[in-house]
Chain A
Amino acid sequence: VSCYSCHGAVNEMKVVYQHEPQSMKWCLDCHRAPENHLRPPDQVFNLNWKPASRQEQYELGMRFKQEWDVNPPVTCGGCHR
């Protein structure tokens, strides 16, 4: 998951602002469906990388999810310690 997914395009911000709601639901949305945010490992720090289409993102994401067994925790203890 890239920095971009949570913090937005910080490289294009004049003044840094909160791009995403950062609420628990927002966290869980991604934890439940990580395929929407997974990208090739070499593009993690590339804030300008964009998938060609939603379809491509989905396909890429599903592939990585399966290959790496991406299975983010959704129990409370994953974050609340």
Chain B
Amino acid sequence: MKRVFHHPPRPEKPSLWRSLAELENSPGFEAVLQREFPRGADVYQDGGLTKRDFMKLLGASMSLAGIGLAGCRRPEAYLVPFNKGVEWTIPGKFLYYATSMPLREGSMPLIVSTVDGRPVKVEGNPLHPLSNGGTDAFAQASILDLYDPNRAKVIKQNGAEASQESFDSFLKELSGAGGEGLAFLVERKNSPTRDRLRAELEARFPGMIWCEYEPLGTPQAEEAVAASFERGVRLVPKFERADVVVALDSEFLNSGDKGVGLAQGFFSRRSPDQRGAPMNRLYVVENHYTGTGGLADHRYRCKASLIGEFTRQLATKIATLTGDSGLVSVLGACPKAQATFDEAWLSECANDLAAIPGRSIVVVGEQQPSWVQILGLAVNQALGNIGTTIVGVATDEKRGGSISDLAAAIKAGTVKTLFVLGGNPAYNAPADLDFSALVKNVPQSVRLGLFEDETSKLCRWHVPASHYLESWGDVCAYDGTYSVIQPMILPLWNGVSELEILAQLAGMPKPEGPALIRETFEQKFNADPEKWNTVVRVGFAPGSEWPEAYLSFSAPQAAAAIKDVKPVGDGLELVFLRSSSVDDGRYANNSWLQETPDFETKVTWDNVALISPATAKKLGVRGNNFGPIYQVAEKLGNDIDFDVVADLIEIKSPSGASVVAAAYIAPGHADDSISLALGYGRTGVSALFEGVGFDAYPLRSTEAWRFLTGVEVTVARGNYPLAQTQEHRSMEGRDLFREGTIERYKQDPKFAQTMGMDGHIPPNISLYTHPELTAAEQWGMTVDLNTCVGCNACVVACQAENNIPVVGKEQVRRNRDMAWIRIDRYFAGEPEDPEMLAQAVMCQHCENAPCETVCPVNATVHSEDGLNLMAYNRCIGTRYCSNNCPWKVRRFNYFDYNQRPLDQLYAGPLAKKGMANSLQMSKNPNVTVRMRGVMEKCTFCIQRIEEAKIARLVEAGARNKNEVPVREFKTACQQACPSDSLVFGNIRDMKSRVARNRSSDRAYVMLKYLNTEPRVSYLARIKNPNPKMPDANRVGMANGQPHGHGEPAEEGHGSEGHESPQEAHH
């Protein structure tokens, strides 16, 4: 019998596609697909330096007294032992400390691993009530900020280096004076110690100005809560109690502002297999695809400026259904706009909500105008959610003025001395304030910052700030839990914290260690020293959350607050997004984040203006200029390898300001809307980051906070190459990602396992012999596609744990990115309004690994516990393994990315060699730092596996080790995952979560017909659509309509496979 299997034929129009180029089947794209590594990937070609030139240079440098070639293959290093043993330290073992990372609205509780006194990795603190042990990408990457060699290192006065003494005497003088015209501009942070120092300063200097500014702050949301309820309450959504969640322009599943624990309740209700409560349902209305939108059961595209109108129409229906008088009176005050939406969508969504009073949550994006938020609260009130699914807590925060207040004071000339503590207002203040010019007018200005950035250049004094891992501090979590920020290392470059500066100004002596924080703690809790020790050890004070507040919605007050709101303008709108890579710009210097692809566009090192396909056509914007250029280059025999070459567009605001940005056609984007992430286009921090992306702040004003309406867009001259990780490594239109609806799942629970050809495959045989899997522990992983948002936390965590180098934009364009775990993002359906699917892909640790059979030197082999190993010392860099890997998860070190500056990679031995000292400190000592010419890939965190095994040996002592089980541990990606969708463990232990997941009906492996027996299983995504919704028949159909054996309609059968008698799988 013939047992030949062919890949399923590619459908004319793939139902799963990764980019528009693929959908259009353009010849250029086909050509790229055909190559494992794009052509020219191995040719030295930068600025005309060919391989031949390179050899010449090599010869020249050898004749020049043999510069640096001796250590070409085997790097030399020195080990310096400790002279004396350090307390608690065991060489090679981590020490763990609890701390917290301050966030805009709360804190990220952390456990930091330190080795030899240097922090190398952060993890979530699972003990904390507002943490499930997960983190986000920003927290993971913050460790690189600590070691960034570009951080500010010296105090500067008027641009010249100044001494610590001169700054101290300046502070002393100020502190002794009356404090006339003293003003502070600080970042939003909920720090009790800072509040205490502020109160002391206010007592000392009456009339001082204290203002807060966050470019992605949410003053509108606070106003709305104050208007609807009362001042000083904060709303805490309880997603675990909600059966239905409606998100209106809100990315609540991926909000780093409040800590990752807050959305945890949503994921706990997302499983189709849970007992008791039903699986929750998510409606999302948004203008561009967010991770939250990707997970939605029903998603509606809507301009950000019309979210208010959408909410109003939805609220009108709910008001009719519930008859709530409060909602009716608020609706009466709302401005109206001319817009029609899908009537059936609105009615059925409203019906769904009204049918379950008190068991839903309507979330309105916190950057939306405050009237929309008030309306959202009124809807929640009408649905009976206030007090049930949304509870209130009484905060004791004391807020400051806004940046507009400060600007007014500077204009009035009352500010004589301005302290800018953190932030970067010269770059990110609303454009209408013209803040840069104002700062220059202040006679004395002091700036405390991690970097010498745009604001530092305008201020008289620049003082290097200490990182949160370098200084004592405290912060309250979103629910008010008091958390201590504990330093892990002394300030690397003499940075000081804002608390130290405030204390000095208040005339206190320079604080020693945690003295300031401890005083606050004792005042706050009247606590004994014993308790302080506990708090520092666990990182927070248990039971210190704010007391619950009774919420009573005041409709007249709410209606009065929105009475005078102007209706929004129409026309083309520009929406300002929070960047998934650089936040508001504060991480612009963080190369890990810069190289992490945006979850939707997969663009690295840039932000792009997202436009819907229809709007792009209308404006004459092309998606990719790659085609013609590629064809010309081909004719000329040139080896240029372009990825996406975007059109540049000029976005002009009604007031005349304009921004030029690269356009990117985004499937699923709302029409007549353009989205541009903030935080890019920074200047003057370091050469590598110069001119990365486009600055959207010049168009943003206090009036246009989330969106700007009435913009004009024209196609500008020129092209812009983008570095995407998207189009290469395409896996073509196979059923890699599988999903279905909950109904289909109930009828045919094993639908995911019989999808495509998987139902037809006869038992397969392997021609190769494989090592026996003899160990008691067999490692495996499962990825739950139902909860994966595609937030990139795992990607950055892997980068931090496994010393993965950054390669730079040029190299990413040559498909040489090094990330061991990637999030594949597919679109399914019509390009105008498709579904978005996110799938984490790492080395699958195949039991019949195709990479192992082709390695000529046995550098990649199998271990007896089922790991696909990589011995770097043996690797000679043939790249056969990568060629033979069906998942394309292997990464090759084309250059010594760790040792050479990224802009001089092609200079060979002439480039400067060596890593910055501070970056050496950031490396994980348990993982090899790879050099040029070796292949690498996910190891399932073998260092953690071995550590756990060794810990077991220690625990067993003089006993048989098999009597002691391996203690539970997590891989770096699993530990970072805020939605708990990655599970790792021993698949032989039937009690383990991973083994239970693998035997789930939803579990399937990718490319099963290849018979590689992957150790990574995926749990198919189950959607929970409302059958009455107009789009219900399109939901959960990423693999096509089910028919026959649960097979997509458009896809053919694996015809050869039919010869076997395997039809009886039902």
Q: Which residues of A contact B (CB under 8 A)?
A: 41, 67-69, 73, 75-78, 80-81
Supply 20 further A-B pairs (C-beta < 8 A) apart from A41-B957, A68-B959, A81-B928: A67-B960, A68-B960, A69-B960, A69-B961, A69-B962, A75-B864, A76-B863, A76-B869, A76-B870, A76-B871, A77-B863, A77-B867, A77-B939, A77-B942, A80-B869, A80-B870, A80-B871, A81-B927, A81-B939, A81-B946
State A67–B962 Cα separation when bound (angstroms): 11
Contact check: which of B869, B872, B873, B926 meets A75 at CB < 8 Å? B869
Given the known inter-chain contacts A75-B861, A81-B928, please indicate yes or no for A68 contacting B956, CB distance below 8 A.
Answer: yes
Residue in A77, A78, A80 with the greatest tally of chain B CB atoms within 10 Å: A77
Which residues of B have CB within 8 Å of A67?
958, 960
Chain A residues, CB < 8 A from B962? 69
Query: Nearest Cβ distance between residue B944 and chain A, in whole angstroms?
Result: 9
How far is the CB of A16 from the nearest CB of chain B, in Å? Answer: 10
Nearest B residue (CB) for A67 = B960
Distance of A66 Cα from B869 Cα, bound (Å): 28
Question: When A and B form their complex, which 8 residue pairs have the shortest distance between CB atoms, in order from nearest?
Answer: A75-B863, A76-B871, A77-B869, A81-B943, A76-B869, A80-B871, A77-B863, A69-B960
**Cβ contact of B873, chosen from A68, A77, A78, A80, cutoff 8 A:** A80
Q: How far is the CB of B255 from chain A (nearest CB, A)?
A: 35
Name the interface residues of B942-992: CB closer than 8 Å to any CB of A: 942-943, 946, 956-962
> In whole angstroms, what is the CA distance A55 to B957 when docked?
25
Q: Which chain A positions have C-beta within 8 A of B864?
A: 75
C-alpha gap A78/B950 in the complex (Å): 11
Contacts of A77 in B (CB 8 A): 863, 867, 869, 939, 942, 946
In the complex, which residues of chain B have a beta carbon less than 8 angstroms from the beta carbon of A78? 863, 946
Q: Contacts A76-B869, A81-B939 known; A68 to B861 CB distance under 8 Å?
A: no
B 298-339 contacts with A by CB, 8 A: none
Chain A's closest residue to B861 (CB) is A76
Q: Which residues on the A side are within 8 Å of B946 (C-beta)? A: 77-78, 81
**Would you call the interface of chain A mostly helix, strand, loop, or mixed?**
loop
CB distance from A68 to the nearest CB of B (A): 6
**A81/B926 in contact, CB under 8 A:** yes
Give CA–CA (A6, B643) in the complex, Å: 53
Number of interface residues of B (CB under 8 A): 25
Q: Give the residues in chain B near A73, CB-CB below 8 Å.
A: 863
Min CB distance A60 to B, Å, is 13
Residue of B with least CB distance to A80:
B871
Task: Specify which chain B residues have a CB less than 8 angstroms from the CB of A80 in the assembled complex.
Answer: 869-873, 928
Contacts of A41 in B (CB 8 A): 957-958
Q: Which residues of B contact A (CB under 8 A)?
A: 861-864, 867, 869-874, 926-928, 939, 942-943, 946, 956-962
A70 to chain B, nearest CB (A): 8
Give 8 pairs: A residue, B residue, CB < 8 Å, sorted on A.
A67-B960, A68-B959, A69-B960, A75-B863, A75-B864, A76-B871, A77-B863, A81-B927
Chain A minimum-CB-distance residue to B927: A81
In the complex the two chains form, what is the Cα distance from A74 to B689 in whole Å? Answer: 45
B166 to chain A, nearest CB (A): 49
CB-CB under 8 A from A76, the residues of chain B are 861, 863, 869-871, 874
Q: What is the bound-complex CA distance between A72 and B216, given in angstroms? A: 54
Chain A residues with CB under 8 Å of B870's CB are 76, 80
Task: Kindly provide the distance from the CB of B938 to the nearest chain A CB, expressed in whole angstroms.
Answer: 12
Q: What CA separation (Å) do A75 and B873 show in the bound complex?
A: 14
Instruction: Report A72 CB to chain B, min CB distance, Å.
Output: 10
B942 proximity list for chain A (CB < 8 A): 77, 81
Q: Give A67 to B963 CA distance when docked, in angstroms.
A: 11
A70 nearest in chain B by CB position: B961
Contacts of A75 in B (CB 8 A): 861-864, 869
**In the assembled complex, how far is the CB of residue A29 from the closest CB belonging to chain B, in whole angstroms?**
18
Measured between beta carbons, the chain B residues less than 8 angstroms from A81 are 926-928, 939, 942-943, 946
A79 to chain B, nearest CB (A): 9
* Bound CA span A2–B203, Å: 66
CB of B952, distance to nearest CB on chain A (Å): 11
A50 to chain B, nearest CB (A): 21
A64 nearest CB neighbor, chain B only: B958
In Å, the complex CA distance between A77 and B941 comes to: 11
Query: Measured between alpha carbons, how far is A75 from B852 in the docked complex, in Å?
Result: 14
Quote the shortest CB–CB distance from A35 to chain B (angstroms): 16
Complex-state Cα separation, A81 to B948, whole angstroms? 14
- The distance in angstroms between the C-alpha atoms of A69 and B264, with both chains bound, is 43
Chain A: minimal CB distance from B148 (Å): 26
Distance between A66 CB and nearest chain B CB, rounded to angstroms: 9
Q: Who on chain A is nearest to B862 by CB?
A: A75
Q: Is the CB of A68 within 8 A of B958?
A: yes
Q: Which residues of A contact B961 (CB under 8 A)?
A: 68-69
A41 to B863, CA, bound (A): 29
Name the distance in Å between A13's Cβ and chain B's nearest Cβ. Answer: 15
The CA of A67 and the CA of B871, in the complex, are separated in Å by 32
Chain A residues near B928 (CB, 8 Å)?
80-81
Taking each of B926, B942, B956, B957, which has the highest tally of chain A beta carbons within 10 Å of its own beta carbon? B942
Of chain A, the residue at the smallest CB distance from B956 is A68
- What distance in Å separates the Cβ of A47 from its nearest Cβ neighbour in chain B? 19
Give Cα distance in the complex from A8 to B922, angstroms: 34
Give every chain A residue within 8 A of B872 (Cβ-Cβ): 80
The smallest C-beta distance from A67 to any residue of chain B, in angstroms, reads: 7
A78–B865 Cα distance when bound, in Å, is 11
A61 to chain B, nearest CB (A): 14
Shortest B92–chain A CB gap in Å is 12
* A68→B953 CA distance, assembly (Å): 10
Closest chain A residue to B860 by CB distance?
A76
Closest to A41 in B: B958
Residue in chain A with minimal CB distance to B947? A81
Separation of A69 and B963 alpha carbons in the complex (Å): 10
The smallest C-beta distance from B773 to any residue of chain A, in angstroms, reads 11
The docked-state distance in angstroms from the alpha carbon of A69 to that of B961 is: 7
Q: Within 8 Å CB of B956, what residues of A?
A: 68
B937 to chain A, nearest CB (A): 13
Q: Report A7 CB to chain B, min CB distance, Å.
A: 13
Measured between alpha carbons, how far is A68 from B963 in the docked complex, in Å? 10
**Cα distance, A81 to B926, chains bound together (Å):** 7
Chain B nearest CB from A69 CB (Å) reads: 5
| Bound Cα distance from A68 to B861, whole angstroms | 28
Task: Give bound CA distance, A66 to B626, whole Å.
Answer: 66
Tell me the complex Cα distance, A58–B942, Å: 33
With a CB–CB cut-off of 8 A, which chain B residues contact A69? 960-962
**Cα distance A69–B870 in the bound complex, in angstroms:** 27
Bound Cα distance A68, B928 (Å): 31
Task: Determine how close the nearest CB of chain A comes to the CB of B935; give it in whole angstroms.
Answer: 13
Q: Which residue on chain A has the smallest CB distance to residue B859?
A: A76
Question: In the bound complex, what is the Cα–Cα distance between A80 and B939 (angstroms)?
Answer: 11
CA distance A77 to B942 in the complex (A): 7
Which residue of chain A lies nearest to B945 when distances are taken between CB atoms in the complex? Answer: A77
Closest to B874 in A: A76
